Amino acid sequence: MARACLQAVKYLMFAFNLLFWLGGCGVLGVGIWLAATQGSFATLSSSFPSLSAANLLIITGAFVMAIGFVGCLGAIKENKCLLLTFFLLLLLVFLLEATIAILFFAYTDKIDRYAQRDLKKGLHLYGTQGNVGLTNAWSIIQTDFRCCGVSNYTDWFEVYNATRVPDSCCLEFSESCGLHAPGTWWKAPCYETVKVWLQENLLAVGIFGLCTALVQILGLTFAMTMYCQVVKADTYCA
């Protein structure tokens, strides 16, 4: 009976980790594609230039693949060491995510102030050599969200040392339209506009976070159940 139970948990855990590993492959693939085709896309921070969407996806995908591989191998080999390693790695990720979420909500105001200062510093890199990713990211954000600058369009005046904004700030795009009068530019601040958009989509973000947590808890349950079953089977055989 114990052996039959072990076999059932074994194949369930293998299937779960195979899907986990394939998910990691997908995330890694998207990250590599972004890095190859878009450069350092969505790098808005001047303090953390390596913190791009492509790099984050590559690191996340590789890490998920590694955890999934350890889980698959531990399940198929019924290896206690690998199962325990998988459990501890997944538990570490879960606790890290929970800690980040708690700190984010506890220090929202400080994070807001720091983020705005850092983004304003990043504006000075707009259009400069080697910062194609940052330039593209700002152009896309300002065009899609119909906003201009971090706090308002005057943020760009310090960058250009003139009454000028990027062409992506224009109500109607045209060559050198950023040199026209302020009445032809978007007035909404990008930071607040994106923040409001995130708040409006908080339900979707919450559901995604909840699903991620449930998947991790399921993985932890499978790993510990199988570990206990292997220990029990070894004890029974002995």
- Count how many domains the chain has: 1
For 202-232, the pLDDT digits (tens) are: 888 888 888 888 888 888 888 888 888 888 7
For 61-72, the pLDDT digits (tens) are: 899 899 989 988
Quote the domain boundaries for residue 35.
Answer: 1-237
What is the secondary structure of 66-116 as a DSSP string?
A: HHHHHHHHHHHHT-HHHHHHHHHHHHHHHHHHHHHHHHHHHTHHHHHHHHH
Supply the pLDDT for residue 48.
63
Count H helices and E strands in the chain, helices first. Answer: 8, 0
For 160-177, the pLDDT digits (tens) are: 998 999 999 999 888 888
Are 42 and 48 in contact by the 8 Å Cβ rule? The answer is no
Residue given tokens 């878009």 in the structure block: 38
Q: What value does the mean pLDDT take over residues 27-47?
A: 70
The answer to pTM > 0.95 is: no
State yes or no: pLDDT of 5 exceeds 90.
Answer: no
